[in-house]
Amino acid sequence: MGSQTVVADVADELARRVAAGEYQPGDLMPSVRRVAEEFDMNRATAQLTLGRLESYGFVEARRGKGFTIRDVREVGGVDVYRQLFRFAIPMPGIAVEMFRDIVDVERNLVREALLAYTGSERQVDSAELKASIDELELTVRQDDPDLRRILAIEVMLVRRLLTALGHTMQRAILNSIGELVLEVPEAVEAFFAGAPDLHVLVWRALAAVWDSGSGPSDAQIALFEDLLGRYHEKVVLRFEELVGVVDEQSRGPHALLA
């Protein structure tokens, strides 16, 4: 095993301990010597490991003291949250709490993007949009659909809408959420709580509305928002199953939303 692999693996383990609360904010991390002894590595490699943990945003170097654990939940930015979510997956309670927040932000962002684009005169090239939806459908129709690829195409579609609208900050947030979700297999799978081909049908329906130029009625918008909310509730429930919080037997019939 190469030294870089050792550094990455040990840094991940230390980050997991921070995420789990085994190391408390404000406390000192184990010293370079202690890390070297625990993980059977030389001190130079242990120093690199703690440096990587600092690059994650989980610790802060203090001259003459070592590395102090940061309150990653309180002061961490999107990049820190991304790392924290990845390390929280083995801890179902924490992972679900974080995923629910992620889904809430994603749902609001997508909802606002779709509604704003529907009412805007600024449009993505229709042929370009349809080509992306065709690519989405081709991926869905494969014998063993690549869910990660499907979700990545959908993120790209929303990104194009935000670009057309000139919503650069929302686009940046979407990109961060996309990266965060796409690197966690359980999160990707959860977004397909329903059949993948339903995603294609939704995009085809949206494209038809945009082509018509008439826009949806108030009743159609209300229905869309209701369906979007129900879909994301199913996404969270599916994630709970995947990380082991609940099983199908314990959820009860009310949890299976139409």
For residues 60 and 70, what is the distance between their CA atoms, to the nearest angstrom?
Answer: 7
Q: How do beta strands 66-69 and 59-62 pair?
A: antiparallel
pTM of the model: 0.82
Three-state SS at 85: helix
Q: What is the CATH number of domain 3-75?
A: 1.10.10.10
Q: Which residues contact 67 (CB under 8 A, 6 or more apart)?
A: 28, 29, 50, 53, 54, 59, 60, 61
3-state secondary structure of 145: coil
How far apart CA 24 and CA 129 sit, in angstroms, is 48
User: Helices 78-88 & 168-182, crossing angle to 10 degrees?
Assistant: 20
Domain residue ranges of the chain, discontinuous segments joined by +: 3-75, 89-255
**Residue 69: what are its φ and ψ, rounded to 5°?**
-75, 130
In this structure, whether the domain defined by 89-255 belongs to CATH 1.20.120.530 is answered with yes
Rg (CA), the chain: 22
What is the pLDDT tens value at each position of the chain, 258 positions in all? 455 689 999 999 999 898 888 999 999 999 999 999 999 999 999 999 999 999 989 999 988 888 999 998 888 888 888 888 988 888 898 899 999 999 999 999 999 999 899 888 878 888 999 999 999 999 999 999 999 999 999 999 999 999 999 999 999 999 999 999 999 999 999 999 988 999 999 999 889 888 887 777 778 788 888 888 899 999 999 999 999 985 443 343 333 333
